[in-house]
Amino acid sequence: MSKPQSQNESIGLIALMLTIIRRDLLLAVRHAGQWLNPLFFFVIVVSLFPLGVGPGPNTLAIIAPGVLWVSALLATLLSLDSLFLRDRRDGTLEQLVLSGHPLSVIVIAKVLAHWLLSGLPLLLISPLLGVFMQLPVTALSTLMISLFLGTLTLSLIGAIGAALTVSLNQSGVLLSLLVLPLSVPVLIFGAGAVVAAASMLPVLGHLSLLAAMFALALALAPLAAAAALRVGVSAGS
């Protein structure tokens, strides 16, 4: 990764972010598990519910928003491990922390790359799964919008947890324990939006709150994650 030569600070930062995103995407192409796993998990978990609950369309339609949203949340949680772990193992993380570039910007770039690989596929397949769960067609667009805002927010919040546990080798359960309470508001309003849409009620309130939470997460989560990364790297990886 070369240092940006440009005098213009903002162009330098964008070049930095693009470099990081390109690298992470390239690495993910070679390790297909990183983006296939959350996707398969999402599809499988949603498919299990009709098998567990019974195929009655009325029941499925009622539980659909919650099931879809919880499964998306769990799939995102599952994928968070890969956010920093590979970089920690091969030493890149240390380089990034010591590089002198603003660490929160680096975090945003990594979270964006991570979301492109784990959140975006969930988003794209969600209408299909919505149909599986007998969700009314009118609610499908709200499902996608809420998942778009929600998975981005969850990736940002999850980055904090991933950064706090980066120096651990087996962080799975601890990571979930840390991230889940923080994710509950996103879940409540995300699923709430889809429930409202399914009942032909207005969704603007829910979506506005989701957008507000996304904005807050975008502003604050990178700072917390960057601070946590510095602690984790100095702990000796």
CB of 231: closest distance to another protein in angstroms? 5
* DSSP per position, 181-202: HHHHHHHHHHHHHHHHHHTT--
Residue 78: phi, psi to the nearest 5? -60, -35
Provide the 8-state DSSP code for 134: T
CB nearer to another protein: pick between 85 and 220: 220
Classify burial at 52, counting beta carbons within 10 Å of its beta carbon; exposed 0-12, middle 13-18, buried 19 or more: exposed
CB nearer to another protein: pick between 16 and 175: 175
CB atoms within 10 A of CB 83: 26
CB of 117: closest distance to another protein in angstroms? 24
CB of 89: closest distance to another protein in angstroms? 18
CB nearer to another protein: pick between 45 and 224: 224
CB nearer to another protein: pick between 39 and 207: 207
CB nearer to another protein: pick between 112 and 225: 225
CB of 187: closest distance to another protein in angstroms? 9
SS3 168: coil
**What distance in Å separates the CA atoms of residue 29 and residue 43, rounded to the nearest whole number?**
20
CB of 81: closest distance to another protein in angstroms? 15
Classify burial at 58, counting beta carbons within 10 Å of its beta carbon; exposed 0-12, middle 13-18, buried 19 or more: exposed
CB of 131: closest distance to another protein in angstroms? 27
Q: What angle do CA 205, 207, 211 make, to 5 degrees?
A: 115
CB nearer to another protein: pick between 17 and 154: 154
CB atoms within 10 A of CB 103: 21
What does the binding site for another protein look like in residue numbers (CB under 8 A)? 160, 164-165, 167-168, 171, 174, 177-178, 180-182, 184-185, 188-189, 192, 209, 213, 216, 220, 224, 227-228, 231-232, 234-236
